Structure 1
């Protein structure tokens, strides 16, 4: 009987919800990995992928709400969700501290996502057995 080696993954999502399949495919993979006994250490959003962490997305009621589904999945499985700070700021996503720093009228990062630097991606690359990228196809 073959022994299955359990893996721990860092997922990097660079494709935006609603304009790419990246967030949907990554979520399907993450659910399957957890169901098979593997672990997902963190999900790192980069480039257009940071839109997944916006608390202001409101898709029509007959469409999937990918940001909400990701938030619930991360919370339910105690997985860290990180949006790259440079990508987030360029795209108008800010947390409480960046709101104060730039004197902006509001913040819009969806819980449980946080904003952090590329060091989170580097750490995930070093500590996970696999890093998987889900690109937007651009």
Structure 2
């Protein structure tokens, strides 16, 4: 089965981000395909490279990056939600006249069309969070 995953909650504010990561891992281990993981609303915060949780806490952003590298996942952050929350890749930062970016490795910024495409191309769209 081919899945698109939508993550609507941030990494340290709700269980949804952890559950989405665990679901994605389990689906891949069972041989399913992940067409895309789309981060929306506060879920875009799963893609910042500047989060530094306490040493005894989990590093969700790093886990997503490692999973994407290992399995060639397409991790897409919604551009409108990202801009509202101060997340920028190098291209968007340049376009906005900023001198820094903060997107974690393996993530990219794009629009809602990527979510629509994921829904069309996949057998299931699974949403985590409100």
TM-score class, shorter-chain normalisation, is over 0.9
**TM-score, with normalisation over the residues of structure 1?**
0.92
CA distance in 2, matches of 1:60, 1:21: 17
**SS of residue in 1 equivalent to 2:20:** helix
Output one character per residue of 1:27-84: Cα deviation in whole Å (capped at 9) or x when no partner.
Answer: 1111111111111111000000000000101111100000001110111100100000
Aligned counterparts, 1:65-76, within 5 A: 65-76=59-70
Partner of 2:34: 40
Structure 2: gaps (5+ residues): none
**SS of residue in 2 equivalent to 1:40:** strand
Partner of 1:105: 99
Aligned counterparts, 1:120-135, within 5 A: 120-135=114-129
* Alignment coverage as a number of residue pairs: 130
CA distance in 1, matches of 2:84, 2:63: 24
Q: Structure 1 residue 97: deviation in Å?
A: 1.1
Partner of 1:91: 85
1:81 partnered with 2:90: no
Partner of 1:30: 24
Q: Structure 1 residue 112: deviation in Å?
A: 0.7
Q: Structure 1 residue 9: deviation in Å?
A: 0.3
CA distance in 2, matches of 1:76, 1:23: 19
Structure 1: gaps (5+ residues): 1-6
